[in-house]
Amino acid sequence: MIQMKSQTLVKTLSVVPVLVSAIVAAAPIEVKTELEYFYGSETRKEYERSFYVKDGKEVLHGIETFWFFDGAVEGKVSYKDGKLDGKSVWYYQNGDMRWECVHRSDRLISGKYYHHNSRLSCEIIDGNGQWKEYDEATGSKIVYIANYLSGVKNGEEVNYSDNGEVYSFRVWEHGVMKSEERP
């Protein structure tokens, strides 16, 4: 999960059409590279994604790659026909693994989240379990919790702000969001 609290300005750097064999009924796959600037800071993120256009909309297909401002890979997320599908990985700035997941058609099959010290902190097995993420600064404060059942969110999902207060609260039932609060 990517948590962004500030507004962003996205600038498209390039769009390159690439012909791909009959993956999506011979639709051309395009690769778009964009820079994302965060207001109020000098932080910038760059990402590249592959997609095809269907009914006038971009449909993610392939690997979406994110980089830290220093050029190190931050993460790679795999899509097939607009759905999470395949292995996805995310790293800390120092290069250590942050999390890795396997999705099939938008369902979380397995996932592991690691603390800064590479210690495993939570694991989703066969699509079931509780996902917890911790703050990047100290690794001691929980910033996100979500429960999964059969590969989809089920139950409470909570995002916490930097000071530990609830930032958003959602209730899910078998992958369908039933309610959302932003205190």
How confident is the chain (183 residues) per 10-residue block, as mean pLDDT?
37 43 55 62 67 88 86 90 95 90 95 85 91 81 93 95 90 96 88
CA distance 78 to 31: 14
The model's pTM is: 0.74
DSSP string, 67-94: E-TTS-EEEEEEEETTEE-EEEEEE-TT
CA distance 149 to 17: 38
Alpha carbon separation from 142 to 32, 159, 161 (Å, rounded): 34, 9, 9
With contact defined as beta carbons under 8 Å apart, do 88 and 80 qualify? no
Q: What is the pLDDT of residue 44?
A: 56
Q: Which two tokens stand for residue 165?
A: 């207060």
What is the per-residue pLDDT across 86-96, written as a single tens digit (0 to 9) for each?
A: 999 999 888 89
With contact defined as beta carbons under 8 Å apart, do 78 and 50 qualify? no
With contact defined as beta carbons under 8 Å apart, do 159 and 178 qualify? no
Residues facing 47 on adjacent strands = 34, 66
119: alpha, beta or left? (left if phi > 0; alpha if psi -120 to 50): beta
Q: What is the pLDDT of residue 127?
A: 93
Question: What residues contact residue 124 under an 8 Å CB cut-off, 6+ apart?
Answer: 101, 108, 110, 111, 112, 131, 148
Buried b (16+ CB within 10 A) or exposed e, 115-124: bbeeeebbeb
CA distance 144 to 43: 22
Q: What is the pLDDT of residue 36?
A: 63
With contact defined as beta carbons under 8 Å apart, do 98 and 114 qualify? yes
With contact defined as beta carbons under 8 Å apart, do 145 and 132 qualify? yes
